[in-house]
Structure 1
Amino acid sequence: MDDENDRLAALERYDVLDTPPEEAFDRITRLTRQIFDVSISTVTLIDGHRQWYKSRQGVDVAETDLSQSLCQIAVVNGEPLIVEDALVHPTVHNHPAVIEGLKLRFYAGMPLRTPHGHVIGTLCAADTVPRTFSKRDQGILADLAQFVVSELELRTLAMTDALTGALSRRAFREEAARAIGLARRHGTDLSVMMIDLDHFKRVNDTYGHRFGDRLLVEVISTLKANARHSDIIGRLGGEEFAIILHQSSAAAALDVAEKLRSAVARLRIEHVDGPVGATISVGVAGLDRTTLDIDTLLERADAALYVAKSDGRNRCIRWESPAQPIPADVRRRVLKGGRIAFNGGRSTMDCTVRTLSETGAGLDFISTADVPDRFKLLIMADEFSRICRVRVRGDRRIEVDFG
């Protein structure tokens, strides 16, 4: 099996987890179901605690925990898993996906292998009745799986985010590096904003992902309408955006940030339950002689953003001093497989570590209902172990402090 950190880093590169359905992937699962005359086909991605379906045909739920996942077996082994009759298959005859849930009898899972060799998930064909699956069928499924990977690769090359029209993460970083080079060459100011849409997960949980997408589009439209034409907006993650401000000092950028924050705070989007508003938190950092590269600048803006969120959100904070160390509790975005242990180590649950600092972490679960207030967090690939105390609890994510 791949080194788990490298495998999850390869998955994170595509920035695809928890994104809406896309026709390019749905077309492949429809074809898979039609070609092999099966009732189920999915594009399945595996993170630290779940299998999540980028596309699904014949399956109602969007994700399951790993205990329900036949796809996980193919990912772990890095090889196709072909099960013509699950009830007599030596490996999966007593698997939960066979004896419970979907009660699968046939399963063919083809690994989704990236150009660098990391297996991030599967394209699978499945059914509730036994089927034969020839070598020719396996070749066809392998070609379809390669189409999935090619589509994921194309997404990374796209210059703009398909939903919001902002620059993609890759395009933004390239543009930011170019802007820094020009600012240094000509001795001009340059600043960067990091922007987070406050409580966006709560919006998705309350109103649904479709409405959440509408909110993102409206917020970005508002930012564009109130920014200068020369300012460059990029989408770095789900609800995280950044803006490059040419020829703007950090002080001037902070004024712009306040203008953008006020504009978003006035935004109202109609919903059947009534108008829904939004707020943003903003961190600002300016280019100076100690700025090594775009990563340094974004890290400082992110540290200021963390302070804005910690101070109550819906506010703008400027990175004050290049000599000021980044606080130990500033969380960096990660994607790591984790496990929590409690009841004296007798009980465990898989999780995905999404943010991490020296003092705490943000953890994703299928459900947090059975997660205790105190437990030990293990990140096996890093030989990492910390005692944790739950600070904030949501339905699927918790924030913890160490110690």
Structure 2
Amino acid sequence: MKTFGKSSTELVQRERERLAALENLDLLDSPRDEGFDRIVRLIQTVFTVDIGLVSVIDAHRQWYKACSGLSNDEVPRADSFCRYVLDDEQPMVIQDATKDPRFLAHPAVTGDTHIRFYAGVPLKTKAGHSIGTVCAIDRTPRSFGRKDLGILQELAGAAMDRMELMQTAATDSLTDALTRRAFKREAEQLIASALRHKQDLACVVLDVDHFKRVNDTYGHAAGDEVLKAVAATCRANLRTSDLFGRLGGEEFAIVLSHTGAEDALKTAEKLRAEIAALPVTGDFGTLNVTASFGGSALSIVGRDIETLLAQADAAMYRAKETGRNRCMSWTALNAAPGTGARRRVLKAGVIIFNDRRSTIDCTVKSLGVDGAGITVSNSAGIPPDFTLSIKADAFETTCAVLSRDRQNLEVAFR
């Protein structure tokens, strides 16, 4: 289906539905998976190319679910070859990028990445929504016949099947923690019970500090050992009644039953100290890592797992912003107006500042009446106050930044 001739309203609606389908799969920033790694290695072998890629694309970025042959794990959507595949919802083959007017001046073509050949097919759900791409990429020009394209489309179908199969998984294969979807499902049951019986309950989020540096310096095998060690340390210091899940690559979450905000912070501090004191050993030598923690608890506004996670995330980002290897409660942010009840969303947004002369595309990941959680490609240069626009909702408001890290912002609406 081509986008040519579609009205602005139709395009906005199509993007809204596409992002809803992506949000339902809950794949963004999810942990690495050997099944997808195998698909990208197969792409490299079958087509004899330098790079194999399985990606999903949100409102502002292309995130690599699996990639072999490139060092980065995402690129801005506006800078991606794959945005053309996404827009047209059709396969695209570029035999020589230096001869294509769309790409001949592209940094990936003119720079060290030296891309010449590209073949990409859309990654489509059963309902027909294009949520990403599967690609074969090379650094020398080459041909790509109809049979080759058919094989790439079959691999895209296998990748989509794998994504749908993952929705039923309950345990993360690397760390034995609950998967993100299973963690949230069980957390909602514990929250419902706590509310019914008027019991305390708290949520803690932790993120391994400088994890990308570990992977870049020592390799993914070392990173995997770090994650397994952190997860094992957490489980060893938690009660059997506590929930422990892996939310993303290096981010974990805990639900503590019969626990208030103060005791949750004590638990977080104990885990922080245990992780900081833990030597991680392997063929790479011995590493010491730390983690940053954020906590939240049931309250008048925090009565569901999405809100508790949003609040704990806000506190965790502030812990990172103020030095890392520390624990913080969301109540210490002095920002209650921006961390009220939230619902999980995936919406295209625009950050507007500098008297509306500067804009940055973003993805709104959580939304409430008084605040939002936002992801960007890079938060550097974004001022403490700006305007947020969500075109699909005809929504625009001024915001104040509560906390941030390199790619995440928690904001309060003014």
The 8 Å contact of residues 44 and 71 in structure 1, kept in 2 or not, is answered as: no
Counterpart of 2:211? 204
Deviates further, 88-97 or 344-353: 88-97
- 1:374 Cα offset (Å): 4.5
Cα 1:346–1:302 change in 2 (3 A) is closer
**1:105-152, CA deviations, whole angstroms, 9 ceiling, x for partnerless residues?**
322111111233221211111223333322222211110011111222
- 1:384 Cα offset (Å): 2.3
Out of 322, 336, 342, the position equivalent to 2:347 is 336
- 1:386 Cα offset (Å): 2.5
Q: Please give the alpha-carbon distance, in whole angstroms, between the structure 2 residues aligned to 1:225 and 1:63.
A: 34
Structure 2 counterpart SS, 1:51: strand
Counterpart of 2:293? 280
Out of 116, 120, 145, the position equivalent to 1:105 is 116
Q: Please give the alpha-carbon distance, in whole angstroms, between the structure 1 residues aligned to 2:412 and 2:85.
A: 35
Q: Please give the alpha-carbon distance, in whole angstroms, between the structure 2 residues aligned to 1:392 and 1:347.
A: 21
Question: For structure 2, which runs of at least 5 residues remain unmatched after alignment?
Answer: 1-10, 320-325
Counterpart of 1:323? none
Counterpart of 1:377? 388
- 1:205 Cα offset (Å): 5.7
Counterpart of 2:169? 158
Structure 1 position 366 matched with structure 2 position 377: yes
Q: Please give the alpha-carbon distance, in whole angstroms, between the structure 2 residues aligned to 1:317 and 1:91.
A: 46
Partner AA of 1:196 in structure 2: V
- 1:79 Cα offset (Å): 1.5
Deviates further, 131-140 or 349-358: 349-358
Structure 1 position 35 matched with structure 2 position 42: no
Cα 1:235–1:62 change in 2 (3 A) is closer
Counterpart of 1:132? 143
Counterpart of 1:243? 255
Counterpart of 1:234? 245
The 8 Å contact of residues 51 and 136 in structure 2, kept in 1 or not, is answered as: yes
Structure 1 counterpart SS, 2:122: strand
Structure 1 position 298 matched with structure 2 position 311: no
Counterpart of 2:36? 25
Partner AA of 1:243 in structure 2: V
Q: Please give the alpha-carbon distance, in whole angstroms, between the structure 2 residues aligned to 1:351 and 1:303.
A: 17
- 1:5 Cα offset (Å): 3.4
**1:225-277, CA deviations, whole angstroms, 9 ceiling, x for partnerless residues?**
344334443344563424364xx5x66x975x466335314312337898544
Deviates further, 231-240 or 126-135: 231-240
- 1:101 Cα offset (Å): 6.0
Q: Please give the alpha-carbon distance, in whole angstroms, between the structure 1 residues aligned to 2:56 and 2:314.
A: 33
Structure 1 position 70 matched with structure 2 position 81: yes
The 8 Å contact of residues 337 and 412 in structure 2, kept in 1 or not, is answered as: no
Partner AA of 1:115 in structure 2: K
Q: Please give the alpha-carbon distance, in whole angstroms, between the structure 2 residues aligned to 1:395 and 1:179.
A: 32
Q: Please give the alpha-carbon distance, in whole angstroms, between the structure 2 residues aligned to 1:23 and 1:71.
A: 23
Structure 1 position 266 matched with structure 2 position 279: no
The 8 Å contact of residues 15 and 237 in structure 1, kept in 2 or not, is answered as: no
**1:344-403, CA deviations, whole angstroms, 9 ceiling, x for partnerless residues?**
444332223344444444433333344345543222222222234555454444444444
The 8 Å contact of residues 261 and 279 in structure 1, kept in 2 or not, is answered as: no
Partner AA of 1:298 in structure 2: I
What is the correspondence of 1:139-178 to structure 2 with a 5 Å cutoff? 139-176=150-187
Cα 1:103–1:177 change in 2 (3 A) is closer
Give the fraction of aligned pairs with identical amino acids, expressed as a percent: 38
- 1:103 Cα offset (Å): 4.6
Cα 1:360–1:135 change in 2 (3 A) is same
- 1:62 Cα offset (Å): 2.3
Structure 2 counterpart SS, 1:3: helix
The 8 Å contact of residues 219 and 264 in structure 1, kept in 2 or not, is answered as: no
Cα 1:114–1:228 change in 2 (3 A) is same
Cα 1:205–1:234 change in 2 (3 A) is closer
Q: Normalized against structure 2, the TM-score is what?
A: 0.74
- 1:279 Cα offset (Å): 5.6
The 8 Å contact of residues 335 and 355 in structure 1, kept in 2 or not, is answered as: yes
Which is greater in Rg?
1
Q: Please give the alpha-carbon distance, in whole angstroms, between the structure 1 residues aligned to 2:409 and 2:370.
A: 14
Cα 1:259–1:64 change in 2 (3 A) is closer
Structure 1 counterpart SS, 2:90: coil
Q: Please give the alpha-carbon distance, in whole angstroms, between the structure 1 residues aligned to 2:399 and 2:158.
A: 42
Question: For structure 1, which runs of at least 5 residues remain unmatched after alignment?
Answer: 319-325
Partner AA of 1:110 in structure 2: V
The 8 Å contact of residues 338 and 411 in structure 2, kept in 1 or not, is answered as: no
Deviates further, 258-267 or 113-122: 258-267
What is the root-mean-square deviation of aligned Cα atoms in Å? 4.1
Counterpart of 1:314? 327
